Amino acid sequence: MFVIIDGIDGSGKGVIVECLAAALREQGRDVFDARAAMRREGRVPGAEDIGGADAVVTTEPAYAWAGLALREELLRNPAYDPLTVAQAFAVDREIHYRRVILPSSAADKLIISERGISGSLAYQVVAGIPEEKILALPGNRLALENPPDLLVLAQLDAETALKRLAARAGKDDGSYYERRPFLEELAVRYRDPAFREIFQSRGTRVIEISTEGTLADTEARARTLLLPLLAQ
């Protein structure tokens, strides 16, 4: 199964991913953390690195190569045209799919990714790029030719998300996406039936999980709602 966890900044995507990874390890599953490998090795891992792991936990953008340029420069500097950012995401995505997603899927591994093509089809549309331009980029086409089995949308209002972002140590990274008006529009986009239909029409099951309340509340909901689905 291939699962993408997505939502606005500060909505608790990372909490859900970490909770699921911990639960899988408790079950005795061998979980390969591609995010940690990227940070440690300075590159995007491949099938030879993942080896015989049962499950893979990963992220977009990557913590290496094109993804690192996005994280450290493009997403922090509003001087870059949104289309430039979209193109960089698509390049990072194609590398991610060819090195992590597709080999892991071919080997019947469980894949859990924090963000994915859904993020581009939300953030970049709100940034003003026509949906058809996003869909036409090669990395995005590849992603939609290999859609997730499950898209989990973390649901949280923009005001609460901003409070959480402000409380995170070291989270003030200058991203112009983390502004109230943008997050409010983004929350609307994630709830748009037309957005969800992009995935549902390709066989993806789309579900919501509320991340209101405490971290423990979110973890409990994730275990109750998602773990049975991952076992299918």
pTM of the model: 0.95
Amino acid at 178: E
Sorted by where each starts, the structural domains of the chain and their CATH numbers stand as 2-230 (3.40.50.300)
> What is the spatial distance between Cα 46 and Cα 169, in angstroms, rounded to a whole number?
32
The burial class, CB within 10 Å (0-12 / 13-18 / 19+), for 26 is exposed
Q: What is the DSSP letter of 168?
A: S
Q: Which two tokens stand for residue 3?
A: 């699962």
Q: Which two structure tokens, joined as six digits, stand for 46?
A: 């491949």
Kindly state the DSSP code that residue 78 receives in the 8-state scheme. T
Residue pLDDT, tens place only, 28-80: 999 999 999 999 999 999 999 999 999 999 999 999 999 999 999 999 999 99
Residue 171: pLDDT band (50, 70, 90) is low
Is-cis flag, bond preceding 193, omega within 30?
no
pLDDT tens per residue, range 108-123:
999 999 999 999 999 9
